[in-house]
Amino acid sequence: MLSLDAAFLAPNVTPELVAQQTERLALAHATLTNGTGAGSDFLGWLDPAAMADDALLDEIESIATELRARTDVLVSVGIGGSYLGARAVIEALSDSVDRPVLFAGQNLSARYHTELLKSIAGKKVAVNAISKSGTTTEPAVAFRILRALAEPGCIVATTDKNKGALRKVAGGAGWRTLPIEDSIGGRYSVLSPVGLLPIAYAGIDIRELQRGAIACARACAEPDPKKNPVLFYAAARNLLYQQGFLIEALASFEPRLHYVLEWWKQLFGESEGKNHTALYPSSVEFTTDLHSMGQYFQEGRRALIETFLIIEDGEPSLTLPTGDNADELGYLVGQELTTINHAAYQATALAHREGGVPSLTIRLPKLDAYHLGFLLYFFERACGVSGYLLGVNPFDQPGVEAYKLNMFGLLGKPGAKISQEELLAKVGAAGDEAIVRF
């Protein structure tokens, strides 16, 4: 269902080098599987079938069907893992989408939300508020703006089962609710009600998505890295990090994978970026970025590794027509654009490897709900193993709170830990003489 091409990792990473990591990999694999490591309270995603059982899937599909019958558009309100997973799936599988899902609460831009309000004016709107607490600033602001615009009975709160501001408000208002289990963190929540309701509303088969994840979970039970792609990927990126590489770029040649790349960046960045360690997760979209970042990849600082994400089949048939050859494309006449795009990938991987950038290629046979579910679970599991190899807790995010504390103080939130006056003094501590103005 998924294959790894490691040819362009050599000589930095070889099967022999990976084999030398077998003991460490087996320990990390067992730590994750058995729930004996740091963050083990957040492993509710590890069994995709248990995360959303048949009864819960029935409920999600029933709510989605009713909302689709009564409304024209769903606005999903959330930030981070509360929106990236659903958006990744919906945009990747856009050919299966028959009902629009829009997203709010992932930023504080007045321009963005004003344009969103214009786009839904005159339409029948459903709103799905997604937050464990209900007090995260960005989605809470957006939800306050949007909830009055929803059709009666068309607000769904996906939130903590027992506590939190959103749970309290939803109970008082009589809104329908879906649970976010305590054991599931945001960036691992795409296959839970957090992601599944917006995905189902869009018209995508959530059972096929889950079925792919279940198949990946079974395939990744093997503790031998020669037989388990999760362990091989985790070992390869860890070995390259030990060799001094600092940045991993996930590269795609398919524009509709944009938010899969964004979801992947949050998954690895928030999971591993601790104790001043880990590869920095970045992304590029080729061939577009070959005309902006290609020079750096070829000849910039040799701190980069690449992971290519390639879809092997299922693209539309589009061939290059004949012309007067002023564009010098006569040699491509009759060839499919898919073939030309694949040649661009092969040429890029070869050029970058010869330029000193090791790369690994992840191949999916096709891009559908089943294979995408397989891929998402593959990355989630690999992230858990990779975090344990690094010696960090892959399931917390203590650093995320720093900016919030400052923002609460600057905006004068009651009970803020740092006062507005103290923060304004820090902001201006350099003094006017240190500021260059034009």
Domains of the chain: 3-36+212-390 (3.40.50.10490), 48-204 (3.40.50.10490)
Q: How is residue 46 written in tokens?
A: 């590890």
pLDDT in tens, 201-228: 999 999 999 999 999 999 998 888 888 9
CB atoms within 10 A of CB 181: 19
pTM of the model: 0.94
SS3 call for 367: coil
Give residue 435's pLDDT band: very low, low, confident or very high (50, 70, 90).
low
Residue 13 CA, distance from chain mean position: 26
Whole-number mean pLDDT of the chain?
Answer: 93
Give residue 437's pLDDT band: very low, low, confident or very high (50, 70, 90).
low
Contact 239, 18 (CB under 8 A): yes
pLDDT at 431: 58
The CA angle 384-130-230, to the nearest 5 degrees, is 15
Mean pLDDT of all residues in 342-362: 96
CB atoms within 10 A of CB 88: 26
pLDDT at 434: 59
What is the distance between the alpha carbons of residues 83 and 198, in angstroms, rounded to a whole number? 9
pLDDT in tens, 132-183: 988 899 999 999 999 999 999 999 999 999 999 999 999 999 999 999 999 9
Q: Which of 41-45, 269-273, 319-323, 347-351 has the lowest mean pLDDT?
A: 319-323
* Between residues 328 and 411, the one the model is more confident about: 328
Residue 21 has pLDDT above 70, yes or no: yes
DSSP tag of 401: H
Residue 419 has pLDDT above 80, yes or no: no
Q: Is the dihedral of CA 110, 190, 224, 312 positive or negative?
A: negative
Q: What percent of the chain lies above the pLDDT cut of 90?
A: 84
pLDDT at 411: 77
Annotated catalytic residues are: 270, 291, 404
pLDDT at 225: 87
Give residue 358's pLDDT band: very low, low, confident or very high (50, 70, 90).
very high
Residue 428 has pLDDT above 80, yes or no: no
